[in-house]
Amino acid sequence: MKQLNSEHKLGEVIPNIATLLNQNVKRFGEKIVFQEKNNKGVYEGITWSDFYNNIQNIAYNLQQMGFQKGEKIVVFSRNCLEMLELELAVMAYGGVVVPIFANFKKETAELLINHSRATWLAVQGETQLANIGTELNLKTIFSFSKVKDERFPNLKSFDDLLKQRPDNTTVFDTTITPDTICLNMYTSGTMGIPKCVQLMHKNILSQQAALSIVWDVTPDDRFLAYLPWHHSFGGIFELFTALYNGATFSLESSFGRDANMIFENWKLVKPTIFFSVPKVYQSLYDLTRESKAAEDIFFNSGLKFIFTAAAALPEKLSNEFEKRGIKVVEGWGLTETSPCCTLTDPSLKRETGVVGKPIPGISIRIADDDEIQVKGPNIMVNYFDNDEANATVFTEDGWYRTGDVGEITENGLKLISRKDRIFKLSNGEKVIPTDLEKAIELKCHYVQYAVVSGSGEEHPVALIFPNKKLLERPDYELSPEEGCFCPRSLNELGRCLTGCLAMANDSLKQKFAKVKSAAIILDELSLDNNTLTPSMKVAPKNVVERYKKHLLNMYGDNVPVEEEVYIIELEPDKISPRCTK
């Protein structure tokens, strides 16, 4: 097996969250740790001293109410100060936090609360209370906002947890061992039912000890942040990078949903570090094209580096940062790895799919079937209450099987695909759908998502979902490819994309992996229809199931469909007639 080890040794790791908080309040006392907008639209912050006092009060009052070490509390909320203080208090006391997506519907929320076997619950407010029933086995429910619900006699105000403890009593447990579980985090579930990942104090804190060796984050840095804390990218990687180093964490008030609002908040915060995904970077860059002033605001002189994950930043967009001296860093990891395993070196030329070298303390190897396996202090204990998954997730010699397929190159790890996305055609040939999906998405910025399918069929086909907003308001200045004429409708996009799709096909080495037809569907993938996960990743199985009729039509059936669709036939002489609407 090929193996890749970090070039740096991991130093001392803080043993637990309680110790981290005790150290940081001494280091950063009156410095602002966290800020969010008040009702006047002004950022208002809290100092480390007041933040620490609140966390101590919460831990003490939880203990007085009967919360035991090792017990779990589900936090059903969007990002806010109350959520952050509660989570840190529970961890520092010796309990386990279980954050879940704030907009889960009743069925999913109750499924996860029951599965976690948590006996305590905290909610944002009315929206979340409306999505839980009275049959849940919960001792106490806390609400961050003031609400009343007669169904829940055990409902308490979060203010009860903030009551000042006597004589500065502390119930923080600095003797908690690094191997103690402190966080249960559900995976995105891109390929099925979410798994409950059990993470330890050392998983979170070894990650920060490693990162502090390879990049420069200081108490002077400013984060503008929207990534949700129920997901590892935001709730572990970004959040603890700020907390660990004493940087100021500013909550983005639109929660990443409105590019114009992100830009307005950008003006106020002037972030030095920004964590995001390519879609948001593209939206923000588009706004900078409106004026030189907007460009200067976004590419401010203090911006040290941007971090991107979930997908590679398109080369032309990456170049816009790099030509201004702003580093672009990419990384790879999973919730099970807390989450970061690799980082790219911004001094090296970017390569498609290459996600860098292991951070300190982490080793990576490629198994005989090309699966990426990982070992290090960042690896989870196991999945909670999931014997089936636990039976196969670790190798006999203790390496974590990631489910990703990749290879080791001179500049680090190269991702190829998810193992469970690779499918066989009827002739037995293996197709890696992500190769073509990436090629299509990079080729045309009008394509928001592409999903290639074809298991058991003679050839692959593609489902393509356009950027509807861009179709409605074309940008005549933004042309990533020569000859792009900025289509204004589905039919124009279909005619334009035919050539781009042919070029994407040509980029593949294997002839059998090329699609013979594609359906451009004028519909949007979303959380509501379960085609996107809470972390905004495509859920391929759900997409294939929801748009199954379109797939059938591309393989020769004639099934009526509801959505407006344009069929591209790249080899029309070899394809049966299709049904289009």
Contact 387, 371 (CB under 8 A): no
Name the band, by pLDDT with cuts 50, 70 and 90, for residue 467: confident
The residue out of 376, 400, 420 marking a domain boundary is 420
Distance CA(83)–CA(254), nearest Å, equals: 17
Question: How many Å is the maximal CA-CA distance in the chain?
Answer: 83
Mean pLDDT of 73-102: 98
In this predicted structure, the answer to whether residue 67 has a pLDDT above a threshold of 90 is yes
Give the residue numbers spanning the domain of 73: 17-31+45-176
486: region left, alpha or beta (phi > 0 left; psi from -120 to 50 alpha): left
- The structural domain count of the chain equals 3
CA distances from 15 to 110, 175, 216, 580 (A): 33, 8, 22, 61
Mean pLDDT of 298-318: 87
Q: What is the pLDDT of residue 575?
A: 45
Query: Per-residue pLDDT tens for 225-234?
Result: 999 999 999 9
- Of 329, 335, 323, whose CA–CA distance to 285 is shortest? 323
CATH number of the domain at 504, please: 3.30.300.30
Alpha helices in 134-258 (DSSP H): 201-214, 232, 239-245
Contact 405, 372 (CB under 8 A): yes
Which runs of E-coded beta strand occur in 166-293? 181-186, 196-200, 222-225, 248-251, 273-276
Q: Using a pLDDT cut of 90, give the percent of the chain over it.
A: 76
Same domain, 458 and 322: no
Residue type for position 247: A
Query: Per-residue pLDDT tens for 263-303?
Result: 999 999 999 999 998 889 988 998 998 899 999 999 999 99
Same domain, 104 and 225: no
Q: What is the pLDDT of residue 572?
A: 59
Name the band, by pLDDT with cuts 50, 70 and 90, for residue 577: very low
Q: What is the pLDDT of residue 192?
A: 58
Total count of residues recorded for the chain: 581
Same domain, 211 and 293: yes
Higher pLDDT, 578 or 348: 348
Does residue 354 fall inside a structural domain? yes
Average predicted confidence (pLDDT) for the chain: 92
Same domain, 387 and 520: no
The residue out of 400, 420, 440 marking a domain boundary is 420
Mean pLDDT of 71-85: 98
In this predicted structure, the answer to whether residue 475 has a pLDDT above a threshold of 70 is no
Mean pLDDT of 246-268: 96
Any residues with CB less than 8 A from the CB of 47 and at least 6 apart, and which? 29, 30, 31, 32, 33
Query: Per-residue pLDDT tens for 481-492?
Result: 555 667 888 998
Same domain, 224 and 361: yes
Does residue 183 fall inside a structural domain? no
Does residue 72 fall inside a structural domain? yes
Name the band, by pLDDT with cuts 50, 70 and 90, for residue 579: very low
Mean pLDDT of 197-210: 98
Same domain, 568 and 536: yes
Same domain, 302 and 363: yes
In this predicted structure, the answer to whether residue 444 has a pLDDT above a threshold of 90 is no
Distance CA(182)–CA(200), nearest Å, equals: 5
In this predicted structure, the answer to whether residue 190 has a pLDDT above a threshold of 70 is no
Contact 425, 432 (CB under 8 A): no
Q: What is the pLDDT of residue 477?
A: 58
In this predicted structure, the answer to whether residue 430 has a pLDDT above a threshold of 90 is no
Query: Per-residue pLDDT tens for 541-575?
Result: 899 999 999 999 999 999 999 999 999 998 755 54
Mean pLDDT of 79-96: 98
Any residues with CB less than 8 A from the CB of 342 and at least 6 apart, and which? 331, 332, 333, 355, 356, 357, 358, 359, 362, 364, 412, 413
Mean pLDDT of 212-226: 97
Same domain, 163 and 216: no
- Of 517, 518, 522, 519, whose CA–CA distance to 564 is shortest? 522
Backbone angles phi, psi at 348, to 5 degrees: -95, 150
In a 3-state reduction of DSSP, which class is residue 495?
helix
Q: Using a pLDDT cut of 70, give the percent of the chain over it.
A: 95
Q: Is the pTM of this model over 0.75?
A: yes
Name the band, by pLDDT with cuts 50, 70 and 90, for residue 315: confident
In this predicted structure, the answer to whether residue 26 has a pLDDT above a threshold of 70 is yes
Same domain, 396 and 259: yes
Q: What is the CB neighbour count within 10 angstroms for residue 283?
A: 17
